[in-house]
Amino acid sequence: MVRLSMGCGGAMYTESLVLTAAHCVSSTGNNTSITATYGVVDLQSTSAIKRTSNYVYRNPGYSTSAGGDWALIRLSQPISGAALLPIATTTAYDNGTFTVAGWGAATEGGAQQRYLLKAQVPFVPDSTCRQSYPSMKTAVEICAGYPEGGVDTCQGDSGGPMFRRDNAGQWIQVGIVSYGRGCARPNYPGVYAEVSALATAIQAAARDLGGNPDPDPDPGPVFENTNNVTIPDAGAAVSSSVTVSGMAGNAPSNLQVGVDIKHTYRGDLVIDLIAPDGTAYRLKNSSGSDSADNVITTYTVNASTEVANGTWKLQVRDVYSADTGYIDSWKLVF
Ligand code: ARG
């Protein structure tokens, strides 16, 4: 959690990128005017860590009918070791009870706070929220609050995170404080940018701004197959196996699949990871327009419903004629 000098909140997405609200920033481009204060509850604490911005990316869709109240602020120097808040990439956590936090007003029309406050607010379904805010954008907004009011975010909390625990017990960001009528009024819940609906765009922007969080900061055992397998041109699928043993329980939700395929037109290729029970996880689709060579990358797969031990396969099919190649090697990192 950070306080931003224009009077908003934000969450550390990477050590250099703060996720906040589009309405907290003016435009995309170089920007050295924002100070982020990190690591303290008391904004006047002498142990606060402060960083200046050097670039702002404001969701270009925010000012269109698409909406999406999010922006990324890049810091001129990373906050090394910062506690990062992963973003929700599925709607699985768009329900339940959320935590909200910020240094914004403690009551409608009240003063900004010196000490960070937090509160808990329940999810409000789109259909209910629409009755209060007929023009809310249900595709990219999520509401939270009690029918009787009394608990809410407020002015100055904007840009800060709304978060909860995921199924593994880890904190995950599901919302960004966006707007509301007054604060904590009955039947006027807070409206938040719906992070799961915006995650793909946030990740793409972060990539351009220097990178996304490490999907696997704590890599475990590696299982690899380095035997080459020829991929027939516009032919049948081929596969390469890796046998996993000695692992307890299920595979992780961030199973890393390292792929090294040499090919003269990678758009020809459809790639799947096949779990021991036969479940296929699509890693890559074909694309007639992607004429680049080779697929040398790491995919992250949520394999948490799969037993780890057994024979996993990388299955590759070339669906267009002309170019060819081979699986050079691939590996699973647990
Ligand atoms: N737009 C406000 C800000 O800039 C946040 C308002 C949130 N309001 C609410 N009732 N939840 O700080």
CA of 133 to the centre of ligand 1 (A): 14
Residues 57 and 157 in one domain: yes
Residues 231 and 316 in one domain: yes
Sign of CA dihedral 93, 95, 98, 104: positive
Last residue of a domain, one of 184, 215, 246: 215
Closest CA to 259 of 243, 279, 283: 283
The domain that holds 10 is classified in CATH as 2.40.10.10
Structure tokens that stand for 135 in this block: 């023009």
Last residue of a domain, one of 215, 230, 254: 215
The domain that holds 232 is classified in CATH as 2.60.120.260
Residues 196 and 296 in one domain: no
Closest CA to 42 of 146, 117, 110, 124: 117
Residues 207 and 289 in one domain: no
Residues 134 and 271 in one domain: no
The label of the residue with tokens 């709607």 reads: 91
Decide whether any atom of ligand 1 lies within 6 Å of the 190 Cβ: yes
Out of 4, 155, 162, 192, give the residue to mutate to test ligand 1, the one with the largest number of ligand atoms within 8 Å of its CB.
Answer: 155
**Options 16, 53, 158, 178, the catalytic residue:** 158
Global pTM reads 0.85
Establish whether 23 is a catalytic residue: yes
- pLDDT of the residue at 5: 98
Decide whether any atom of ligand 1 lies within 6 Å of the 20 Cβ: no
**Options 69, 94, 157, 323, the catalytic residue:** 69
* Gyration radius from the chain CA atoms: 23
Residues 241 and 210 in one domain: no
Atom of ligand 1 nearest to the CA of 190: 11
Decide whether any atom of ligand 1 lies within 6 Å of the 155 Cβ: yes
Residues 226 and 206 in one domain: no
Residues 127 and 84 in one domain: yes
Decide whether any atom of ligand 1 lies within 6 Å of the 133 Cβ: no
- pLDDT of the residue at 168: 82
CB neighbour list of residue 90: distance below 8 Å, 6 or more residues apart: 196
Residues 242 and 197 in one domain: no
Closest-CA residue, ligand 1 atom 11, reads: 190
Establish whether 233 is a catalytic residue: no
pLDDT means per 10 residues, the chain with 334 residues, are 98 98 98 98 98 98 98 98 96 98 98 98 98 98 98 98 93 98 98 98 96 90 98 98 98 96 98 98 96 96 96 98 97 98
Atom of ligand 1 nearest to the CA of 104: 12
Decide whether any atom of ligand 1 lies within 6 Å of the 69 Cβ: no
- pLDDT of the residue at 215: 87
Out of 70, 112, 178, 185, give the residue to mutate to test ligand 1, the one with the largest number of ligand atoms within 8 Å of its CB.
Answer: 178
Decide whether any atom of ligand 1 lies within 6 Å of the 141 Cβ: no
Closest CA to 248 of 130, 161, 334, 126: 334
Last residue of a domain, one of 160, 193, 215: 215
Decide whether any atom of ligand 1 lies within 6 Å of the 194 Cβ: no
Residues 111 and 207 in one domain: yes
CA of 130 to the centre of ligand 1 (A): 17
C-alpha 182/C-alpha 41 separation (Å) is 25
- Given its phi and psi angles, is residue 174 left (phi above 0), alpha (psi -120 to 50 degrees) or beta? alpha
CA of 74 to the centre of ligand 1 (A): 23
Establish whether 26 is a catalytic residue: no
Decide whether any atom of ligand 1 lies within 6 Å of the 104 Cβ: yes
Residues 99 and 186 in one domain: yes
How many distinct structural domains can be found in the chain?
2
Domain of 142 in residue numbering reads as 1-215
- pLDDT of the residue at 217: 85
Residues 74 and 179 in one domain: yes
- pLDDT of the residue at 158: 98
